[in-house]
Every structure is written in C-alpha cells, then in structure tokens.
Amino acid sequence: MRTTRSKAAAAARIEAARTARTAGELLERLRSCFVRTQTWQHAGRYVSALVSEIPKRNGWTIAQQVGDRTPDRTQRLLNRAVWDGQAAASQVRRFVVTGLDAVAGRRTRRGLRIAALDETGQQKAGTATCGVKRQYMGCAGRLANGINTVHLAYVRERVGHALIAARQWIPAEHLSDPDTRSQMGIADGLVFRTKGQLAIDICTDAYADGVTFDFVCGDEVYGNCTQLREFFEQRQQAYVLRVASNFMLTLNAETRMTCAKAVALLATDKRRWQVRSAGPGSKGQRWYAWAWIAAGSRHYLLVRRHLTSGDLAFHYCYVPHGQPLTLARLVRAAGLRWPVEETFEFSKDSFGLDQCQARLHTAILRHTVLVMTALAICAITAARLKTRTGTQAPPPDTPDQRPPAEPGMIPLTIPETARLLATTWHRPKPADHDTHWRNWRRRHQARARWFHQRARLRRDYVLAS
C-alpha cells in the first residue's frame, strides 16, 4: 500500500510540473501582446485566479485571490490597460493547434481536424452591458436578458479540444446610436454582423494564422447562412452543417425540395440506412442510423435517425474535389461537433467564462481571451498526459458482465488539470488578507447604497414637484 501511494504521489508531482511548464509556455508567448511587463504579469495572475477553485470569478474575487488589496488593478487590466486582445487570441489559437497536432502526430491514426462553430451566452440583469438584449439564450433554454458570443473550437479527434476564437454578437440598435456606442465602449469602426458573418470573421482569423481543418461543423444557425456556406466553398473548405427540415435542396437543375421531403421520397429503402456510431461518449458509443443523398455537385444531405424515437436530424455537406468522400468520414465529422458543448461547460464551470461582470466591449473580449488562455493550458496538458494517466478497465462486452475488481482511472480531465495547476500556483496571503477584503466589501457596499439612496431621493423630488 505504501508503494502504491508513493507512486501515486510521484505521478501527481510529475503531472503538476508538466501543467506548470505548459502554463509557462503559453504565458511567455503572450508577452509580446503587452506594452508593459507589469500588465503582462498581472494577466498571468488573472489566469491563475481563473484556474483556482474560488466559487465566482469576477473583478472582486479575482483581485482577492491574486493578493491585491482592491480590485483596481484587475479592472484596469480589463478596461484601460494597453494590450492587444486579438493578438493574444491569435497566440492562444496557435498554441492550441500546435499542441493538439503534436500529440496527434505521435499516434498511428491521427484523426480528423474539426472546426466547431457555436455560440454561448451569459445572462445579464441590466441594460448597460455591451451587447445585452432580450433574446433566446441557450444557457437558459428560453428568452432572457443577456449577451451572446460566437466561438470557434478546434477539435482533434481522439486527442482533445479547446476554444481558439471568439467574437461577441452586438445588436444593430447598439451600433446605430452614438451615445450607446460610447457608453458601451464600442469602437467607431465596428459594424453590425450576423452570427453567420461573425463565423466568417473568426474563421478568416484562423486561416490567417495558418490553421487548416478537414471539416467545419456547426448547428442550424450556421447551416442556414448562405453567405457562410459560400465562403467555405470559395476556400475549398469541406463542411458538415446542421440544417432545418425545411431547408431547400437543389437535387438537379429542375428539382428542388425540402430535406424532409427528400428523405420521404428517396430514403424509404431500408438498405439506404446504415447503423454507425457518431463517436464514443462517456456512456459508450452513440449509435444512430445514417443515410446520405446527393444534392448537386459535391453537395450531400446527411441524415441521422435516432434508433429508438426515429427523430431525424439533417446535415448539409460539401466535400471539394480531391478530398476523401465516404459516408463513414461524414458521420465521423458530424459526431465531432458535440465537443464544443463540453468545452463551453468546462469554460464556464472551471474558468468562469460566464461570470464576467464587465460592461465594456473591450473588457468582455479580454476576459474571454484570458479564459481561453486558462482553458488552452489545461486542454493541452490533458492531451499530452492522456495516454499516461488513463488506466480505465476495458469496457464490458455483455450486459450481465461482472464489474472489474479494479476499475482504474479515466485519463486526466481538463477540470482535474485545472485543480493541479491551482495547487502549483497557490500563493500564501498575509494574515489579515481575508479580514481586509471583508471590510473592503462592506465599506464599498455602504458607499454604493448611499449613492443609490441619494439618486432615489433626487428622482422622488422631481416626481413631487
């Protein structure tokens, strides 16, 4: 038992050292994006607070975690400090792609390279935050007041995934009013872009950094965007994009019909359907029935049918000349869109992507980039250690198979990697640090309450007069 524990302790120390080394690699890359060394150093401390296990990650809690006496430096980092957030995002993107590709290069089967497009949001209570609007929020599952950001995730099959680009969606009414633009910190040159057009922008940034993809995947928001599909086809970029059942297909020069009608007419024969896995999940392989229909030159409709309910999902696909074209390859690509949802979950739960209380456009972007930095560090470390830390027992072969005596352990996950890094980055605080912050918060709240009461008195006097 003592030997086993000592081996486990040694492994933990090695994993923590590798995580810290990966963090140092990326933070050193970001140095060129900052004018002042002190700002770059504080950005590193900000990232260390993001990977810590504090319950909330906002300006006050981050400042307390990094050892500051007030949140002034943290707020300055996001709002007024001189550093290039887009250049930092480019460095994070190159780091992620290079890191995951290097891990994949050590394997016999390197797997597909997928660009997964999706958006995620953060609910907001007020109206002063840049981009805030009552809209459908996927995080809430209903109409709510909040902001939305389009993200691009890089998914390397059987290796790992992380966010590599982001652009916030801003309503047209915010951009058309000069006073609103000024209050929300929106630059003069920024124009309204739909989510599909923002996807074009972030993919253009990725291509400019030399990133290549086997497929681009996305949900119906992006599949229904004609401009986005044309952009990919001009670049000879293969894609597998979800579309609605009423999406119109051009089967030939004389025939146009919806996806639902095409399936009803052309996929009635059971031999057209093949049962294939959409990829492994935490509970095993995800089996569906698949069929595909030619929809013009190099275009195809990929249809997924649930084996139990029979529900259909439609994917509009494009594969340029000279690239491999098989049903199995399209199915693999379609199944690799789901990791972006897991990436959002990690980014929010472990790094506070949706906990930012910043209001200005630049501050929101900078917080997002620093979260992407924290996620990239842990994602690359987890990918590098995947084969060394996974000791899970083989999956069962029969429903009545007895469980193994020793189940082993799953590979090191991104949240567990973050916990490793948090212990490595832990800095002792002065004895009175927590007491100081309790008093600071109460004093700040008292001051804010006084000003709120004065504002209400002024409003009441106006109404009474």
Per residue in 24-48, pLDDT (tens digit) is 999 999 999 999 999 999 999 999 9
Percent of the chain past pLDDT 90, that is, above it, reads: 71
pLDDT at 8 over 70: no
Under the banding of pLDDT at 50, 70 and 90, the label for residue 253 is confident
How many Cα atoms within 13 Å fall on the side-chain side of residue 5?
2
407-439 residue pLDDT tens: 888 888 999 999 989 988 877 888 899 899 899
**Which pTM was predicted?**
0.92
For the chain, give the percent of residues with pLDDT over 70. Answer: 96
pLDDT of residue 10: 60
Whether 391 contacts 402, CB under 8 Å: no
Binning pLDDT at 50, 70 and 90, where does residue 126 land? confident
**Whole-angstrom distance, CA of residue 34 vs CA of residue 40:** 6
How confident is the model over 259-277, as pLDDT tens digits? 999 999 998 888 899 999 9
Q: What is the pLDDT of residues 217-248, one digit of tens each?
A: 999 999 999 999 999 999 999 999 999 999 99
Mean pLDDT over residues 366-392, rounded? 93
Residue with tokens 């490595």, as numbered in its chain: 424
Does residue 302 register a pLDDT over 80?
Answer: yes
pLDDT at 2: 46
- What confidence score (pLDDT) does residue 131 get? 94
Whether residue 282 is predicted with pLDDT greater than 80 in this model: the reply is no
Tokens 């990918």 locate to 383
Choice between 323 and 3, residue whose per-residue pLDDT is larger? 323
Q: Is the pLDDT of residue 14 over 80?
A: no
A 10 A CB-CB count for 201 gives 14
